[in-house]
Amino acid sequence: MLQSRYLAGASSLALLLTLGAGQALAQDSAEVEEVVVTGSFIAGTPEDAALPVNVIGAEEMAKQGSPSTVDLIKSIPAVSGAVGESNQFGAGQTTGSGNVNLRGLGAERTLVLFNGRRMAISPGSIYVDTNLIPTAAIGRIEVLKDGAAATYGSDAIGGVVNFITRRNLSGLEVSGGYSLIDGSKGDYNVNAAYGWVGDRGDVLVTAGYRKRSELSTTDRDFALRSFTDNPQGGWSTFGNPGLYLSSSNGGTTFTSPVVDPACGAISGPGTATSCQFQFLGFDNLTEDEDHWQLYGEINFDLTDTTKFHAEILYSGHEVAAENSSPSYPPNNFPTSALTTKVQGNGFYIPSANPGLQALIASGGLTPAQAATAGANGLFTSVAWRPLGVGGNPLFGGKGKEDKRAFEAYRISAGLKGKFDFGGGIGWDAALTYMDNNSEIATPDVLVGRMQLALRGLGGNGCTGNTPGANGCLWFNPFSSGVAGNAIDGRTNPNYNAATANSLEVLDYVFDEYAYKIRSQMFTADLVFNGDLPVDFGAGQLAWAAGAQYRWSGIERQNSDFTNIAVSPCADSSVNPGATCTAKNGPFSFFGALADYDLDYSVIATFAELQMPFTDSLTGTFAIRYEDYGGNIGATTNPKVALKWQAADWLAFRASAGSTFRAPPQTQIANTATTSLAYTTAAGGYRAYDLWGAANLKPEKADTLNLGVLFEMGDFNASLDYWRFAFKGPIDNESGSDIVNAIFPNGAAGANNCANPAYAPLLARISFTGACSAPNINRVRINYVNSPDIDTSGLDFAASYRARDVLGGDMNFGLDLTYVLEYIVAATTLEGVVVAKETDYAGTMDYLGYGSQPQWKATAFAEYARGDHNIRWTLRYVDDMRDTRGGTSTFATNQNGRKIKAFVTSDITYRVVLPWDTTLTAAVINVFDEDPPFARLDLSYDPFTANPLGRYYKLGVTKRF
């Protein structure tokens, strides 16, 4: 269990926290110093704290088997819906990254600190990437589960997680660990830490590398399911084999459906108007990831009263080949400049295309279809993609591979000391700068090049206008060029090797949808603290006051084909001078992006008072003012906290305040980012263009925490009631709400296409043809101050030690969170109520408020004797109800409406060996429990569960 000690800063020793597998407990020699509690700027002893803070130290981590950062964060009961387990479909940019999401309020509402100072957000997101933390350097983690904007400013609405480095390590420590995972090559890590301690200072240098291995969906039975079991389980009607359109009149109106005859043989299931394609077999549950961190820190006493601190971090991670579908279905189509036969939602395939000729010759088409196709050619339909079951030859016949790389630099330096006057006023001044970079590249098809290749005019060396001659290449869009299903091995009876697409033509039609994002942050902090000559008989009034200047910048640079200013049109890849009204860019699936370079500055002042009214009653008051200027403006936020020690064994605490979060630059700029989301009504993925809004205001919340603490000998417990009441939380509009409002019955039944009241909402959707759910092309959504949220719950923690049991000690612990309610007010868009007031506690709201289990708990039993320690840990995630309903296919699939509880057990054994060596062995998920089924692409919820099953960990640490 993550032992909950709600006495902030309770770790007076700087303990080694090891987040990689196999690092052992190795206590640093440390001198007890006056500490500053997370959530306060007032220096004092841990017992002074009145805030709900979890302290997680090295020993606690080692007893759990040294989980990874992602596993650690997900195991905290107060955390709900954290990323980092999988690419999660639609959140692919997070692959390799991690975050903290306290109270399920969104990771952007949890402030992450490193040694008490801010970190820059991960590029392309609005949260801090916790996988950049130098794990070998961490001594403890403090988790403040209360709003803290009055102390730290914006982003601390849901709480604060402070990663604090170890101190006073003397000597060299090396460690390594390996996790044996069935179906993968396993995960491993190596770490080294060197420390030097002198009379006037100390130095810490650490290095770490962690490797995560690929785990395919085909290696877990629960992931690949039939269409009947899970229609969203990687199934799409946009496949290859796919659906085509023919015309009997020789004109440009192509309406008669032609399903590729190989559908049933190598894909399927199919109907007269569609062919299902399961792309999930090309995906992974986890990707190959490389993580690295280098960290250095120096602390030096310049004088008897002045101390110098400096730290530098270089960290990063890379996903060199994130696997996905062989190609995407098109959302963007060519114009008449490329072919005389044009329809709004397809590519023209002339009858001379060798792939079409082979398809006709195979006898797979009806005589009527063969006759019309041979005379007039065919059009692709929206229910098609260039490559499907046969894989993508550019990537060895597998799925296409995306590239994601993240790299960060951070430096912080400061001085702290004490003035002799005024009773001894302490001061702390620091400067911090962080530069965070990412590079993203996703292969996609270029519309113009695809259309030319379908006409036999493709290829980088094509000259002249003769199809298939003078270096000009054909692209075959049919199954006649596909040998079989690359996942399950079924062979294609209509395969004609002569019509298989060459690597040259594939290299011509595919290019990288690529961009770089850079986020920067600079802060200047100045804090004073001391005591005032005010004493009610229990001690002087303590105070802290200061100011902060904070600058944040973010910029995006796009490749030429991705850049809307360079390549705005569907035909731009073959006609750089093309002009167009609909500037969707040259790619067939992703929309064009604009470059941007955005920044803003914040000036803040704050003050804090702590008064011991009596020997048993202490009060704290804090207030902070932040000024953003411009449309955002300024905000002032107070907070008050009380702690009453009613008896030696009983204490009460309470805190209340207001807190806020300002919109980041990308949310107020007139720019858009395109994301992909499975759209139930359309039966597949669609593009959602998310636009910034200049009129966004800071979101605000009132917070309340009421707690009681028990301490009776070796038994400790705490119970807290918490509540967050949001006003105007910043969020993006729900694209599914917009689609469901227009198509309340999914693809079938009545819709609101012709309802005048829905006209403004309808204008948000672009169609490839008439207004119908399957014809949805892309949807515009905006950042808004969304409906109010009111959430509350209970935290309970308890621990007990039984001493002298068979020559050792027994320890027991429990930590749980129960969400009483998560109520979201009714949602109105464009004057239409698209969602009624709803309590999301105990639900999974796909594409909305995420995973909100009502219960999360961790319990443990442990026996320690001498050099040996063994622990059994039980983890529980409550069941959830899928909020999706209506008359869609999902509504009839009742097996997925309830996501069952996920219960796992871990066992860890640790032994201290001779020669300063520690061995740790663990079995994770002892009973090999599969994650419970959820109607998501991977058939489980990656935000609350993990797909690894039972695996084994071994780690060794050696100190020199």
pLDDT digits (tens, 9 = 90+) for 858-905: 999 999 999 999 999 999 999 999 987 644 444 444 455 889 999 999
pLDDT at 69: 80
Phi, psi (rounded to 5 degrees) for 87: -70, -15
Which residue did the predictor score with more confidence, 820 or 268? 820
Residue 398 pLDDT level (bands cut at 50, 70, 90): very high
Q: Are 138 and 167 in contact (CB under 8 A)?
A: no
Distance, in Å, from the CA atom of 624 to the CA atom of 188, rounded to the nearest integer, reads 44
Our CA dihedral for 749, 751, 753, 756, rounded to 10 degrees, sits at 140
Per the CB < 8 A criterion, the answer to whether 958 and 237 are in contact is no
The tens digit of pLDDT for each residue in 685-739 reads 677 888 888 888 888 999 999 999 999 999 999 999 999 999 999 988 888 888 8
Length of the chain: 960
Question: Which residues face 317 on adjacent strands?
Answer: 291, 406
- Cα of first residue to Cα of last residue in the chain, in angstroms, is 30
- Check residue 201 and report its DSSP letter: E
- Euclidean distance between CA atoms 346 and 254, whole angstroms: 10
Give the pLDDT score at 2: 30
Q: Output the CA angle 509-510-515, nearest 5 degrees.
A: 135
Read off the pLDDT of each residue in 509-537 and give the average, rounded to a whole number.
Answer: 93
Could you read off the pLDDT of 4-35 as tens digits, one per residue? 322 333 332 222 222 233 333 333 433 334 45
CB atoms within 10 A of CB 257: 16
pLDDT for 406 equals 95
Is the pLDDT at 775 greater than 60? The verdict is: yes
CA distance 637 to 646: 30
Single-letter code of the amino acid located at 670:
N
CA dist., res. 661 & res. 434, Å (int) = 20
Which segments within 289-352 are labelled E, that is strand? Answer: 289-301, 306-323, 348-349
Give yes or no for a contact between 96 and 131, defined as CB atoms under 8 angstroms apart.
Answer: yes
Q: How far apart are CA 378 and CA 350, in angstroms?
A: 7
Q: Is the backbone of residue 842 left (phi > 0), alpha (psi -120 to 50) or beta?
A: left
Tokens found for residue 335: 């114009």
Peptide bond into 52 cis (omega under 30): no
Q: Provide mean pLDDT across the span 497-507.
A: 97
The residues, ordered by sequence, that sit 6+ positions from 571 with a Cβ below 8 Å of its Cβ are 334, 335, 337, 338, 447, 448, 578, 580, 586
Could you tell me which of 309, 379, 329 has the C-alpha nearest to residue 351? 379
Q: Hey, what are 740's tokens?
A: 């469901």
Say if residue 476's pLDDT is above 80.
yes
d(CA 47, CA 34): 12
Q: Which of 701, 702, 703, 709 is nearest to 722 (CA)?
A: 703
* Cβ 547 vs Cβ 589: under 8 Å: no
Average pLDDT value over all residues in the chain = 87
**The pLDDT value given to residue 40:** 85
Indicate if the pLDDT at residue 172 is higher than 70.
yes
**Is 780 within 8 Å of 771 (Cβ atoms)?**
no
Task: Provide the pLDDT confidence category of residue 501 given band limits of 50, 70 and 90.
Answer: very high
Residue 655 has pLDDT above 90, yes or no: yes
Q: CB count, 10 Å around CB of 746?
A: 20
- For residue 297, what pLDDT is reported? 97
Burial class from Cβ neighbours inside 10 Å (0-12, 13-18, 19+) for residue 745 reads middle
- Do the strands 171-181 and 951-959 form a parallel or antiparallel pair, or are they unpaired? antiparallel
Answer whether 163's CB lies under 8 Å from 115's CB. Answer: yes
SS3 breakdown of the chain: % helix, strand, coil, rounded to 5? 10, 45, 45
- In b/e form, how buried is each residue of 76-97, taking b as 16+ CB within 10 angstroms? bbbbbbbbbbbbbbbbbbbbbb
Q: Residue 332: what pLDDT?
A: 86
Give every CB contact of residue 415 below 8 A, 6+ residues apart in sequence: 302, 306, 307, 308, 309, 428, 429, 430
Token pair of 474, please?
């054909």
Per the DSSP assignment, residues forming a β-bridge with 118 are 113
pLDDT, tens digit, 9 for 90 and up, residues 198-218: 999 999 999 999 999 999 999
Residue range 453-468: average pLDDT? 95
Handedness of CA 463, 464, 470, 471 (dihedral sign): positive
In SS3 terms, 211-270 reads as EECCEEHHHCCCCCCCCCCCCCCCEECCCCCCEEEECCCCCCCCCEEEECCCHHHHCCCE
Helices (H), 649-779: 665-668, 735-742, 759-762
Q: Measured between alpha carbons, how far is 334 from 573 in angstroms, rounded to an integer?
A: 11
Cα(282)–Cα(399) distance, rounded to whole angstroms? 5
Q: Can you give the pLDDT at residue 33?
A: 46
Question: What are 259's strand-pairing partners?
Answer: 243
Between 644-653, 682-691, 928-937, the lowest mean confidence (pLDDT) is in 682-691
Is the omega angle on the peptide bond into residue 77 within 30 degrees of 0, that is, cis? Answer: no
Model confidence at 768, pLDDT cuts 50, 70, 90, reads confident
pLDDT tens string 750-759: 899 999 999 9
Mind listing the pLDDT tens digit for each residue in 404-453? 999 999 999 999 999 987 678 999 999 999 999 999 999 999 999 999 99
User: Of residues 184 and 60, which shows the higher confidence score?
Assistant: 184
CB 525 within 8 A of CB 601: no
Give 550's pLDDT tier (boundaries 50, 70, 90).
very high
pLDDT of amino acid 213: 95
Task: Decide if 155 contacts 102 (C-beta within 8 A).
Answer: no
* Residues β-bridged to residue 784: 731
pLDDT in tens, 236-260: 889 999 999 987 666 666 778 899 9
Q: Per-residue pLDDT for 54 more than 90?
A: no
Contact 624, 150 (CB under 8 A): yes
Q: Is the pLDDT of residue 549 over 90?
A: yes
User: Cα separation of 772 and 759, whole Å?
Assistant: 14
Is the confidence at residue 949, as pLDDT, over 50?
A: yes
pTM of the predicted structure, to 2 decimals: 0.89
Which pair of structure tokens corresponds to residue 551? 């600058």
Say which residues have a Cβ less than 8 Å from residue 304's Cβ, sequence separation at least 6. Answer: none
Read off φ and ψ for residue 144, nearest 5 degrees. -90, 115
